[in-house]
Structure 1
């Protein structure tokens, strides 16, 4: 992976020498001219038509940059009623009312003048309401729930970070084998779940672990619309409805049965139009909701910096920026039978090797990861956001002795992860 001048080309605006990395089209590292270029070979298609994907990429890039500039200028409001959040919650409430009305209508068809010929239609309406109902979520089957008595040092650290950022402690702390971590709420009572991927956790140095916890726990207080119970219909309901009405060819009527054939054709046309309409509205609602979700991610990063210090929060984002490389070296070490001590050494070497090209990788992430459907802002902008704000020192310090105690408590879980990675290839 080489950062190089782009064949002596210069920027059309500031005359600086352009750069390129990973075979990307060159851009200006100074004024970021040409950074918004759409490169279909570097990103998966979103709609399947290149001319649409090109325009939605340009729109997403502009919205992402405008949001970043606005948040830098105005600050990040932890609970401010952003327009995107208001639209998402309002749409969700309307959809939820619609499902309740469908269910009520189904009950009326079943019980009205019972028994009657309307019963099948009532049962169908009730079935539709059940399919479209909001989901409360459940614990991931791949997660292993930890016990406070067996991992007290980890729980103490989680509690300390939660207090530092003003977040409630999670009800469940779990681990899995992913190079990732997440916080979510599940069930009707919205139990708070923190799940830590051990390959990522074991590869991180001490303060970046604090930053990781700070970011994830921040999702319990940053007003993320994706985690609110009332907003689930906006993200899922119309997409499910579009799938339900999309026509499926099960058999073909003979051409001689002209009336039957015409009726089937007309029904298919109506279904396709309705499915496209529902899907279009679904896409718009998701894109609007994710604007506010990205604002919440910036706030989670700010709270991570508050807990671990700005430097550790930026370093964590750089680690995620080269996540594919980091995951590769961790899995290589795990297949060789090594545990977290070796993972950290190998990961540190990978970060050191990537150091000279990190500024370019941060910029290129804007081109590669700007999307109307991205749940997170590009890592480069997330790191830049922290650097634009007043530098913070760590509120929670994790020393080496405490880190080693935590890893000792997690030893059997690390062993299981090593086995699973080794057997999984």
Structure 2
């Protein structure tokens, strides 16, 4: 399917300036910002989300100035991060107490009602146990080192440049994202590459992406540690258990009232962890951007920011492709559509006009930290990279290396493309 462009032209109803736009995107006025953000997203109204947004707004500009003035500061363990670590240990300590108490009741209360209490406490502790991330088991493609030696060699080289080790497994899914997580009791590193994002990036931007993700492990990002990550998961489970019943009966009202104090404690601990780690987490994003620039070059890191700005357009393209495949008879054209999916996605992305990139930057400035308080706004991250002294790439994606990696990903590209056209885009 070819990309079509519908030009829209007219006058701004607010200031009268001439407006021109690609009909696929929002028509807006660059002179007065009319219609620059026609559909602001709904914000999470929950108390933890409000606290995170308030903290992000309070520290955002100061943090940007701090990391910009200092260039690319190294990892830092501040007292707040250490306090968050201690609280996470206490959260896990509660789970240990429940497990020990349940075992004691089970042993000493054998044959008596206390045995039921022990079983309950053990079951509760089991649901709250620290559970590290696990590789997907739903058929998502997983590449071992033997499956993609050139890709792993690139990952190892980038990780070495930013000061950490590479990945033990690579998962390739249909997300417009990427991440590195620690999985299993042995602490293996799992790199998840969203193939749509990988495809719309240039070779050097792909290196910058890898540099950013592995940069989180070299700059002391607290929330990437297993202790804090699993503590958050345990607290989320507690919050689920104490959540008030909707449309409560009289008995439910009583239960809601009794669960109010522990629910307040859980929310308070979550808010405190957010307050202690939010600044460090957002600082870590800036430092990861610096790692991206060191690995792939400043130019590539800035280009990566621009691609992230228009990630929604890539999602729209993939949804359209998935929906179009549903209107044809299953099994007749799906293979053909899958074979050309990535080429169409790249063509659509390359055809995005500069005006849409600028609009997205202005939208980011308007929204600030209101939507995703855990990440600095993309326009600020981009501005910080541009304000620093440009750095060249420490890792180069040569033509031969790019072709070898593409060959290693060929079968996975077909698998993910067929999944999208047969089942729709999951995003």
Q: TM class by shorter-chain length?
A: 0.7 to 0.9
Normalised TM-score (structure 2): 0.80
Shift in Å, 1:331: 6.0
Instruction: Name the structure 1 match of 2:242.
Output: 245
Shift in Å, 1:362: 2.3
Instruction: Name the structure 1 match of 2:363.
Output: 364
CA gap of 1:238–1:329, structure 2 versus 1, over 3 A, is closer
Normalised TM-score (structure 1): 0.80
CA distance in 2, matches of 1:318, 1:248: 43
Structure 1 position 98 matched with structure 2 position 77:
no
CA distance in 2, matches of 1:3, 1:162: 50
CA distance in 2, matches of 1:58, 1:284: 13
Shift in Å, 1:53: 7.9
CA distance in 2, matches of 1:66, 1:158: 33
Structure 1 position 64 matched with structure 2 position 66:
no
Structure 1 position 310 matched with structure 2 position 298:
yes
CA distance in 1, matches of 2:371, 2:177: 22
Count of aligned residue pairs for this structure pair? 389
Kindly indicate whether the alpha-carbon contact (under 8 Å) linking 2:207 and 2:296 is maintained by their aligned counterparts in 1.
yes
Q: 2:108 aligns with which of 106, 112, 128?
A: 112
Instruction: Name the structure 2 match of 1:47.
Output: 45
Question: Which range moved further: 307-316 or 190-199?
Answer: 190-199
Kindly indicate whether the alpha-carbon contact (under 8 Å) linking 2:36 and 2:362 is maintained by their aligned counterparts in 1.
no
Instruction: Name the structure 2 match of 1:184.
Output: 181
Kindly indicate whether the alpha-carbon contact (under 8 Å) linking 2:235 and 2:266 is maintained by their aligned counterparts in 1.
yes
| Runs (5+) with no aligned partner, structure 1 | 10-16, 26-40, 254-260
Structure 1 position 321 matched with structure 2 position 309:
yes
Q: 1:159 aligns with which of 153, 156, 160?
A: 156
Instruction: Name the structure 2 match of 1:37.
Output: none
Alignment deviations for residues 26-69 of structure 1 (CA, whole Å, 9 cap, x no partner): xxxxxxxxxxxxxxx612231269xx988874553232222222
| Runs (5+) with no aligned partner, structure 2 | 1-7, 17-29, 326-336
Backbone CA RMSD of aligned residues = 3.3
Instruction: Name the structure 1 match of 2:20.
Output: none
CA gap of 1:234–1:290, structure 2 versus 1, over 3 A, is farther
CA distance in 1, matches of 2:49, 2:132: 33
Q: 2:220 aligns with which of 215, 218, 223?
A: 223
4+ residue segments displaced more than 6 Å? 1-6, 52-56
After superposition, where does 1:24-39 map in structure 2 within 5 Å? 24=37
Shift in Å, 1:303: 0.6
After superposition, where does 1:168-183 map in structure 2 within 5 Å? 168-183=165-180
CA distance in 2, matches of 1:272, 1:394: 54
